[in-house]
Amino acid sequence: MSAPEADDPSRSTRPNARSGNTFAGDAWVNFKRWNLKAVRNPFVLVVSLVQPIIFLVLFTEVFGNVAGSAVNQGLPGISYETYLVPAIAIQVALAAAITSGVGLVNDIENGMFEKVLVTPMSRTAVFVGKTAAEVFRIAVQIAIILGLGVLLGADIVTGVAGAAGIVAVGILFSLWFVAFSNAVAIITRDQESTIISANLLQFPLLFLSSAFLPLEALPGWIQAFARVNPVTYGVDAARSLMVDQDVMTVIEVSWFGGTLDGVAPGVAVLIGIDLALGAVAVTLLSRASSSDVK
């Protein structure tokens, strides 16, 4: 029971006693909350890993022999496991990014969105903290996939530094889809719609790209789509790091000579897409959280 006398002294000092009012402090508070929710709900964590793992195992076992020879025409001596793992890393980033929008819809539905808006926290910091938690989770999941890939016989030619690079490319790739799923979440304000619309995109994006087979082995119309598909840029950049060669299929550059020629254009394109979709999501978010009457 709180006694009145316990209340009074702090009441007078309260407005100055606020300690967490820095931008970083506010972001950290939200980072912790979303990580706690992720740990609390390991189902989400596991489910977004299961499908990519199934893909990794099934594709290497079922298509490994056939696809391996197609791969070896362009990249002699590279096993299908090694070829596939960067694509699965990108798939994980894609699948995990969907949960960002789902989390936002849940917050809107259970009132936490509005509750956070009436706190004095910086609204930008609130979303930075949430996104940071999701990016952190995606990094962990990609690391798990890389470890599993190595166990299954894949070879990360560039070693630990390359693995870190692949995680970084995966994060860069995930951001545009994080932005996309948040935009869908604000527009639909409905959990099912957000999951379905993001999931619907997942398979066309993956299959109509350089993820599973070299582009030259695919029909012309797929090659045409793959050129404008962000997945191609993410996969090619990650794959260049995996095999330590320039395997970027769409944009040819020779600024650095070697592996970085495969990584840099992909990274540049991803940053561009991230900024474009990020701007859309930020606009929608600030409209949703503004106090202007609607």
Partner 1 sequence: MPTPDQAGPTDRSREGGSGESGGTDAAASASAIDVDGLELTYADGTVAVHGIDMTVPEGEFFGFLGPNGAGKTTTIKVFATLLSPTDGTVRINGFDVQSDSRKVRESIGYMAQETSIDPELTATENIRFACEAYGVPRDARSERVDELLDLVDLADVADKRAEEFSGGMKKRLDAATALVHRPPLVFLDEPTTGLDPKARNRLWEYFRRINDLGTTIFLTTQYLEEADQLCDRLAVILDGDIVADGSPSELKREVGGEVLDVELEGGSAVSERAATIAREFDAFADASVAETDEGISVTAETAREHGTDLLVALRDAEITVTGFNIRAPTLDDVFLAITGEELDVDDAEGAQ
Least distance (Å) between residue 266 CB and partner 1: 36
Read off φ and ψ for residue 248, nearest 5 degrees: -60, 125
Single-letter residue type at 134: E
| 28 vs 207, beta carbon nearer partner 1 | 28
Least distance (Å) between residue 197 CB and partner 1: 24
Least distance (Å) between residue 122 CB and partner 1: 9
| 219 vs 292, beta carbon nearer partner 1 | 292
Q: From CA 153, how far away is CA 79, in angstroms rounded? A: 8
Beta carbons of 270 and 285 less than 8 angstroms apart: no
Q: From CA 201, how far away is CA 205, in angstroms rounded? A: 6
Least distance (Å) between residue 51 CB and partner 1: 23
Complete DSSP assignment for 50-117:
HHHHHHHHHIIIIIHHHHHHHHHHHSTT--HHHHHHHHHHHHHHHHHHHHHHHHHHHHHHTTHHHHHH
| 108 vs 280, beta carbon nearer partner 1 | 108
Least distance (Å) between residue 292 CB and partner 1: 6
| 31 vs 233, beta carbon nearer partner 1 | 31
| 20 vs 153, beta carbon nearer partner 1 | 20
Q: Which residues bind partner 1 (CB under 8 A)?
A: 1-2, 4, 6-8, 10-12, 14-15, 17-21, 25-26, 29, 32-33, 36-37, 40-41, 110-112, 114-121, 291-294
CA-to-CA separations, 113 to 13, 107, 181, in angstroms, rounded: 28, 5, 16
